[in-house]
Structure 1
Amino acid sequence: MAIQKIGIDDFIKNRNECLVLDVRSPGEYLHAHIPNAYSLPLFTDQERKVVGTAYKQESKEKAIKIGLDYFGPKMRAMVEEVEDFVKSGNKKILVHCWRGGMRSGGVAWLLDLYGFKVYQLTGGYKAYRNWVLGQFEKPYDFKIISGNTGSGKTPLLHELEKSGMQMIDLEALAHHKGSALGGINQPPQPSQELFENLLADKLFAKKVEESILLEDESQRVGNVNIPNALWQKMKVSELIYLQIPFEERLKYLVEEYGKLPLEEIKSAILRIQKRLGGLETKNAISHLEEGNLSACFGILLRYYDKWYEKGLNSKEKGEIIKIEGESVNKEINAKKIIERIWKK
């Protein structure tokens, strides 16, 4: 067999049929990687540093010799790890490093020598990143599900998806629900780069010619940002504004967040005290400590309503379609939206 080099378009088209091996160092992989790629590092972080320093300060040949010293003792273990992962031994394997150079070339040679069908990604992870950034430039037709805090927008998105609508849950990708309380009981957030990789994959899976539903977000979701090219499109997209009474939204928030650890809720309130104000912060925490979650969340909800309205008015926006909802009921509200928007 022979190693076959493939470009990014062929890689994207065929990667679900391949075991994708990322042979960059553990630190590079941890920072960001191609979704569903398996980490098989040729060098540790320290070894990569030593090889890189030799390459820059001495010569390419010296760096290769040092690299071979590291690579040689690992060869058998790497083959066995891949063999165990593949099981049948006949699955196609795609190897990549940062630029599609010596690291992926070395591992591809080893696996090809052993008998695997091996592909090497031309341009490596860097080519993939260029592809990712290109996904944010496409002419998407977004429809933005909007509404004040506590309107149940995220469950509504998933309900609309069940009805056949295209949807991307930005908060699920970011591991954050957007508000001060949004990071509690969530997994660690991905790096900005990994968030973009995940988002690009989701966008690529959608039909560009059909509408895609997104939740109305600030550009910053926790510690990650919606890519600017996409954010600019979102700001001028049609807005479906769900209007739910204050008391219904408050009831929903108490049910949704009332089970969270009280100390973490308290910490979240303290993080926004500059904007919330000293008195309101003190009152909210007092209500929380007394177990009066409705009064505590009522203060927070009035605060978020003020900021949500301010943010909504400051945005460039397309058409706003208002949908009246009596309660936070995803089935009923999804039906209202479908009848209003898609069954005109």
Structure 2
Amino acid sequence: MSHRGPVRVADRHAFHTLIDARSPAEYALDHIPGAINCPVLDDDERRIVGTIYKQQGAFEARRVGGAMVAANLARHLRERFADQPASWKPLVYCWRGGMRSGSMVTWLRLVGWDAQQLAGGYKAWRRHVIDRLAELAPQLPLRVICGPTGSAKTRVLQALAARGAQVLDLEACARHRGSVLGAWPGVEQPSQTAFETALLHALEPFDLQRTMYVEAESSKIGRLAVPQPLVQRLRASPCIEIGASVPARLDFLLRDYANLGDDPALLARQLGVLRELHGKQVIARWQEWAQAGALAPLFAELVALHYDPLYARSQSTHLHQWATRHTLASDDLSAAGIDDLATQVLALDDAPAPGSAKA
């Protein structure tokens, strides 16, 4: 049955396939989850048509662009869409629901498929992401897992998720560990828009009546900004602190950040960022250790002189329920110790958290 009226973002699940008709570069920057990329103009073609539009006007741009679009659509019909049955219902979008998706929908409908165009295109999706995050954030029943660097917070979150708890892993969405040395080896961070899409995609299936666990993060993770409504909710939520001993933390850091020893020159460069905070002499010493692959003394001083003072200052400032936090002591951050911490975290949820109201 054909869809009546304009197709909105909320209607997208009623279709068999979601097709992003934009260029590969636009798709790579961000796209609606589950969409496949079938460009009507590739990156070079889009640039050529844009130049013609500026230099020679709309008619010439449409004439040249039309031939490119027709060739690309013919290829998609021969290849990507060749096996689709007569009952196939695709939903197509481009940047703002204009000519690119319109031309694809026209051809698919001529074939006999019930193809539809997403009203407003990707821009409508972007508005949906911003609005939904702002709407959901204040309702999230968050418990914030805190602890200084090396407390295995992310691993505790993973252990909670493995037991079926609801976990929002901000660092996984941002592909970054959040600290000055937190870049994932060999992994680029997503664009800001793709980060926000990933956050919504992670949040939408959650049950708002059940506790959700999240790690304490600053408002930026690497170069990405956590959306403000989420930052505000996180800061207002009850806290659970992992009070791990310094030896346990250093032992954990040496295991978990071992990859930093793989590229001594890069590590030394990253430490240079801290020069204004710690002065030339300290940074020179740290950089020497980095170059020599001496991670144990380097991490010991980073924890004592950089991470712990920063943590002590920031938690009470940024987390409004810090004073009433639960603290779970631990001197074992092995896999078994982390599992034990997850058990303790879940046990806390059976009793009401101090100062919290059920969302």
Scaled by the length of structure 1, what TM-score is found? 0.89
Question: 1:34 — aligned with what?
Answer: 32
1:311 pairs with 2:348 = no
Question: 2:355 — aligned with what?
Answer: none
1:20 counterpart SS class: strand
1:180 counterpart SS class: coil
2:95, 2:214 → 1: CA distance?
Answer: 32
Q: Do 1:184 and 1:264's aligned partners in 2 also have CA atoms closer than 8 Å?
A: no
Q: Do 1:175 and 1:186's aligned partners in 2 also have CA atoms closer than 8 Å?
A: no
Question: What is the identity percentage for the equivalent residue pairs of Structure 1 and Structure 2?
Answer: 30
2:116 counterpart SS class: strand
1:44, 1:177 → 2: CA distance?
Answer: 34
Q: Do 2:159 and 2:339's aligned partners in 1 also have CA atoms closer than 8 Å?
A: yes
Partner of residue 326 from structure 2, selected from 317, 321, 324: 321
1:80, 1:207 → 2: CA distance?
Answer: 43
Letter in 2 for 1:123: G
1:217 pairs with 2:217 = yes
Q: Do 1:83 and 1:89's aligned partners in 2 also have CA atoms closer than 8 Å?
A: no
Q: 1:81 to 1:275 in 2, by over 3 A?
A: farther
Q: CA deviation at 1:28?
A: 1.9
Q: 1:187 to 1:36 in 2, by over 3 A?
A: farther
2:88, 2:153 → 1: CA distance?
Answer: 41
1:251, 1:87 → 2: CA distance?
Answer: 55
What's the Cα RMSD here?
A: 2.5
Question: 1:267 — aligned with what?
Answer: 269
Q: Do 2:159 and 2:338's aligned partners in 1 also have CA atoms closer than 8 Å?
A: yes
Question: 1:163 — aligned with what?
Answer: 163
Greater Cα shift, 114-123 or 160-169? 114-123
Q: Do 1:166 and 1:211's aligned partners in 2 also have CA atoms closer than 8 Å?
A: yes
Unaligned runs of 5+ in 1: none
2:80 counterpart SS class: helix
Greater Cα shift, 150-159 or 57-66? 57-66
Question: 1:8 — aligned with what?
Answer: 9
Q: 1:179 to 1:53 in 2, by over 3 A?
A: same
2:43, 2:294 → 1: CA distance?
Answer: 51
Greater Cα shift, 322-331 or 257-266? 257-266
Aligned ranges for residues 51-90 of structure 1 at < 5 Å?
51=49, 63-83=61-81
1:129 pairs with 2:126 = yes
Q: 1:311 to 1:66 in 2, by over 3 A?
A: same
Question: 2:356 — aligned with what?
Answer: none
Letter in 1 for 2:23: S
Q: 1:2 to 1:105 in 2, by over 3 A?
A: farther
Q: Do 1:2 and 1:112's aligned partners in 2 also have CA atoms closer than 8 Å?
A: no
Partner of residue 333 from structure 1, selected from 341, 345, 348: 341
1:27 counterpart SS class: helix
Q: CA deviation at 1:188?
A: 0.6
2:326, 2:86 → 1: CA distance?
Answer: 55
Letter in 2 for 1:105: G
Question: 1:110 — aligned with what?
Answer: 107
2:209 counterpart SS class: coil
Greater Cα shift, 169-178 or 17-26? 17-26
1:288, 1:45 → 2: CA distance?
Answer: 42
Letter in 2 for 1:96: Y
Q: 1:184 to 1:122 in 2, by over 3 A?
A: closer
Letter in 2 for 1:327: D
Letter in 1 for 2:97: G
2:21, 2:184 → 1: CA distance?
Answer: 34
Q: CA deviation at 1:225?
A: 0.8
Q: Do 2:129 and 2:197's aligned partners in 1 also have CA atoms closer than 8 Å?
A: yes
Question: 2:245 — aligned with what?
Answer: 245
Q: Do 2:40 and 2:73's aligned partners in 1 also have CA atoms closer than 8 Å?
A: no
Letter in 1 for 2:317: S
Q: 1:48 to 1:2 in 2, by over 3 A?
A: farther
Q: Do 1:3 and 1:112's aligned partners in 2 also have CA atoms closer than 8 Å?
A: no
Q: Do 1:22 and 1:40's aligned partners in 2 also have CA atoms closer than 8 Å?
A: yes
Q: 1:289 to 1:63 in 2, by over 3 A?
A: closer
1:75, 1:258 → 2: CA distance?
Answer: 49
1:82 counterpart SS class: coil
Partner of residue 295 from structure 2, selected from 293, 296, 304: 293
Greater Cα shift, 202-211 or 66-75? 66-75
Q: 1:74 to 1:136 in 2, by over 3 A?
A: closer
Question: 1:257 — aligned with what?
Answer: 257
Q: Do 1:135 and 1:203's aligned partners in 2 also have CA atoms closer than 8 Å?
A: no
Scaled by the length of structure 2, what TM-score is found? 0.86
